[in-house]
Chains A and B, each alone.
Chain A
Amino acid sequence: MDKFTTLTGVAAPMPLVNIDTDMIIPKQFLKTIARTGLGKNLFDEMRYDQNGNEIKDFVLNQPAYRHAEILVAGDNFGCGSSREHAPWALLDFGVRCVISTSFADIFYNNCFKNGILPITLPKQAVDALMDDARKGANARITVDLEAQTVTSSDGHAYSFEVDAFKKHCLLNGLDDIGLTLEKAKDIDTYESKMATLHPWI
């Protein structure tokens, strides 16, 4: 996993609420057995028409946002299925950070496993950043994970909360399987204790 420290980039505004994982990556693209290559189908049904041509109005098809690295999105982003293909598709497109008032739980967790930082901010802050994002490619938003701040193009900084462990893993690009395997002894102990206490499992 790539580290995430700071990022300054173009933010695409997506004010729609409840953007679900089926919108982020429709199921016909889940038949892959790889993690990469999904970026071209990110938001597929909003991005392309029936014939596979780009829909001009869609934000990521507009010249200013074709290389967006940040999304500013409406409430409850990433609701729906557990498919990790959603963050894989975002990452493959080049999005490293999503900002919203709220995220669906599984999607939120999945982001951290893939070097994407989801940032939850109060409504007012998200509205302000949404307006900033609407200004196009010249309005670059800066995210600093260490300092836990998002700074709009006009220099206004917003602080955000992030779980300390998740932050640590993201800052250092750590694989948490490796970390857990260091605790193998604890898992052994738990298993032998439960073998006596709950022998039916």
Chain B
Amino acid sequence: MTAPKTIYDKIWDDHVVQTSEDGTCVLYIDRHLVHEVTSPQAFEGLRLAGRKVRAPEKTIAVPDHNVPTTLDRANAATMTEDSRIQVEALDKNARDFGVNYYPVSDVRQGIVHIVGPEQGWTLPGMTVVCGDSHTATHGAFGALAHGIGTSEVEHVLATQTLIQKKSKNMKVEITGSLRPGVTAKDITLSVIGATGTAGGNGHVIEYCGQAIRELSMEGRMTVCNMAIEGGARAGLIAPDEKTFAYVMGRPHAPKGAKWEAALAYWKTLFTDEGAHFDKVVTLRGEDIAPVVTWGTSPEDVLPITGVVPSPEDFTGGKVEAVQRSLDYMGLTPGQKLTDIKIDTVFIGSCTNGRIEDLRAAAAVLKGKKIKDGMRAMVVPGSGLVRAQAEEEGLAQIFIDAGLEWRLAGCSMCLAMNPDQLSPGERCAATSNRNFEGRQGRGGRTHLLSPAMAAAAALTGHLTDIRDMM
């Protein structure tokens, strides 16, 4: 009998092409997603060396980071010169090397981590990589998915493999059920709050437990998306009936006999009884509250009922970091989180730009108006999410409430396009990073769930969604 394996062990073993004496492996990559920011130098490297893309049919490219999300984006003048050059470089590279491509003009265009699952490129048991740290999102399907740097992008393009050493196994279990008003975003932020941003370093996390099983596929993607914020190489969730139902019928999902064969394999993707985990973290679903971040690291997270902490509450290098955070964020220790005034609300990103997220926000905003003077925008994760939201009437709810209804892209998640905060401007954001300057130089970011972001848009300050239910 073979030793019990985790789901990570199983996927890993199925993708090893060759192992060296020291344990370094050549790992086969099933899907390679590409966007415009981290790929130009990699394609250039191929050209210089006279190399081809080994498996263009397994390579999928889409521009998302730079593209404007305003309705007039077909007009080239909406992009800065350097953004335009980067998007054009991707157009050209996709064409020259013959990879699958969704240009800006295609309704299927969107954030790479939303497009992959939506089009059925991401399937259980696969290895999925992208020159983007939030590739962890695809782990929601029981795939081994992680970000890579540009040199590795070039390596995958040329060889369809990566040189890797295996990470350790970490289990994050969320027992029981979530309370009303608590979402996948609150789970993933609470886990980072508990482990710290380095807590997962060197590990691949398997999220499990009843509260995870009870999440939709959208919610599971939100959870896995932020595995990287906890330092993990990847995060994944064993596939189940919900996964199979989500995948079935998608354009690039297998059909007929291939579907049956795939399904039989996918059902073997679970962690065996007694498999070894190097690290285990358990949270009770009932204990998780709606949370927000107060600082400039995703680990700076507290229940919305809390108060801004003081540097003295911390030890070591974190004391200086907290002081710096509070100065940057313009906050005072002891201040109630619900007293923090908000200027801008951003709903979108690969963390929370899917249809379920828009439904959650619309449910809070329906028939109401956002606070006077508030700037608020909803940026759907893909053109297809946008179309569905229009069909379901969500778009009209946003527009009636006074929010801007945008086209798909990364937008204010990292502010490489024109959507940026000004210095001191304070934003409630459904994205995943609250780093200094992330949403624009001097901009202040509070991370939270879509429902909490919608609530803040109505009241003008951070708000406990449970008070509105």
Contacts and interface: CB of A to CB of B under 8 A. Distances in A.
B198 A200 contact: no
B155 A180 contact: yes
Contacts of B159: 177, 180-181, 184, 187
Interface stretch (A23-31, A55-63, A152-160): A23-31
B82 A31 contact: yes
B297 interface: yes
Nearest to A82: B147
Given A105-B202, A164-B22, A186-B17, 4 more contacts: A16-B320, A30-B416, A31-B85, A35-B150
Contacts of A75: 198, 316-317
Interface stretch (A91-99, A107-115, A133-141): A107-115
B148 interface: yes
A110 B151 contact: yes
Contacts of A190: 17, 28
A167 B67 CA distance: 39
Contacts of A164: 22
B317 A187 contact: no
B149 A84 contact: yes
Interface in A25-54: 26-28, 30-35, 45, 50
Contacts of B54: 187
Given A26-B437, A105-B201, A16 B324 contact: yes
Interface stretch (B126-134, B176-184, B282-290, B346-354): B126-134
B165 A50 contact: no
A194 B438 CA distance: 42
B151 A114 contact: yes
In this complex, which of A82, A105, A190 has the most chain B Cβ atoms within 10 angstroms of its Cβ?
A: A82
A177 B162 CA distance: 9
Interface residues of B, number: 79
Contacts of B89: 33
Contact of B155 (A102, A177, A200): A177
Interface in B373-432: 414-416, 423
B433 to A, nearest CB: 7
B149 A82 contact: yes
B274 to A, nearest CB: 26
A75 B317 CA distance: 8
B320 A79 contact: no
Contacts of B165: 163
Nearest to A23: B436
A30 to B, nearest CB: 5
A165 B265 contact: no
A111 B423 CA distance: 32
B20 interface: yes
Interface stretch (B38-46, B98-106, B214-222, B330-338): B38-46
Interface in B61-117: 65-66, 80, 82-83, 85-86, 89
Contact of B321 (A17, A50, A83, A114): A17
Contacts of A102: 198, 201
Interface in B151-194: 151-152, 154-155, 158-161, 163, 165, 167
- Kindly list the 3 A-B residue pairs having the minimum CB-CB distance in the complex, ordered from nearest: A200-B254, A113-B151, A110-B149
A173 interface: no
B22 A104 contact: no
B235 interface: no
8 contacts: A16-B321, A16-B324, A17-B320, A26-B437, A79-B198, A84-B38, A105-B233, A106-B133
Contacts of B65: 30
B210 interface: no
A77 to B, nearest CB: 10
A17 B318 contact: yes
A102 B233 CA distance: 14
